[in-house]
Amino acid sequence: MKNIKSTITRIKQQDETLVNEAPQVLASIDENVSLNFHQDVSDCLDRIQSEVERVTFEEGEAGGEYYCRIDIGKWELVKSIHIPSVVNEPWVPGLISDDKICVENQRSNDMYITCISTAHTQKVIDGVTNMDITSCAPINSNVIVCGKWRCDWKGDRLDGFITLYDRQWKKIRDISIPRNGGGNSVYVDVDRDGMILAAECSQSNIYVINPDDGKIVHTITMQGKRVFCEIQALSSGDIVHVKTSFNKYTVISRSGEEKAVIHCDDWEESKCGIDKLTDTLYITYRVAGNSYAVDQVSRDGIIQAKRIVEYVRSDRSLYFSPCLVTPYGNLVGCDGDKLLLYKKTFIL
Three-state SS at 232? strand
Under the banding of pLDDT at 50, 70 and 90, the label for residue 71 is confident
Output the pLDDT for position 83: 97
pLDDT of residue 84 exceeding 60, the answer is yes
pLDDT of residue 186 exceeding 90, the answer is yes
Question: Where along the chain do its domains lie?
Answer: 2-52, 56-345
172 closest CA partner among 126, 211, 209? 211
pLDDT in tens, 115-125: 999 999 999 99
292 phi/psi in degrees, rounded to 5: -130, 150
Domain 56-345 fold? Methylamine Dehydrogenase; Chain H (2.130.10)
Output the pLDDT for position 22: 62
The CA distances from residue 314 to 33, 79, 169, 291, 318, in Å, are 52, 18, 29, 9, 9
- Of residues 162 and 348, the one with the higher pLDDT is 162
| Per-residue b or e along 241-268, where b marks 16 or more CB atoms closer than 10 Å to that residue's CB | bbbbeebbbbbbeeebeebbebebebbe
**What is the distance between the alpha carbons of residues 272 and 249, in angstroms, rounded to a whole number?**
9
This prediction has a pTM of 0.81
What does the pLDDT average to over 167-189? Answer: 91
What does the pLDDT average to over 1-18? Answer: 58
What does the pLDDT average to over 236-263? Answer: 83
Output the pLDDT for position 246: 75
Strand (E) or helix (H) holding 30: helix 22-31
- Contact between residue 297 and residue 303 where contact means Cβ atoms under 8 Å apart: yes
The answer for residues whose C-beta is within 8 angstroms of residue 272's C-beta and 6 or more apart is: 230, 232, 241, 243, 249, 281, 282, 283, 284, 322
Phi-psi region of 301 (alpha: psi -120 to 50; beta: other; left: phi over 0): left
Q: Is 66 exposed, middle or buried (0-12, 13-18, 19+ CB in 10 A)?
A: exposed
Packing angle, helices 2-12 and 22-31, rounded to 10: 160
pLDDT in tens, 300-319: 889 999 999 999 999 898 88
- Kindly calculate the radius of gyration of the chain based on its CA atoms and give it in whole angstroms: 26
Q: Chain-centre distance of CA 273, in angstroms?
A: 5
Q: Is 101 exposed, middle or buried (0-12, 13-18, 19+ CB in 10 A)?
A: buried
**What is the distance between the alpha carbons of residues 110 and 203, in angstroms, rounded to a whole number?**
27
Output the pLDDT for position 35: 52
The answer to which of 113-122, 247-256, 293-302 has the lowest mean pLDDT is: 247-256
What does the pLDDT average to over 139-146? Answer: 95
CA dihedral 214, 102, 94, 131 (to 10 degrees): -60
pLDDT of residue 100 exceeding 80, the answer is yes
**What is the distance between the alpha carbons of residues 169 and 164, in angstroms, rounded to a whole number?**
9
- Of residues 182 and 35, the one with the higher pLDDT is 182
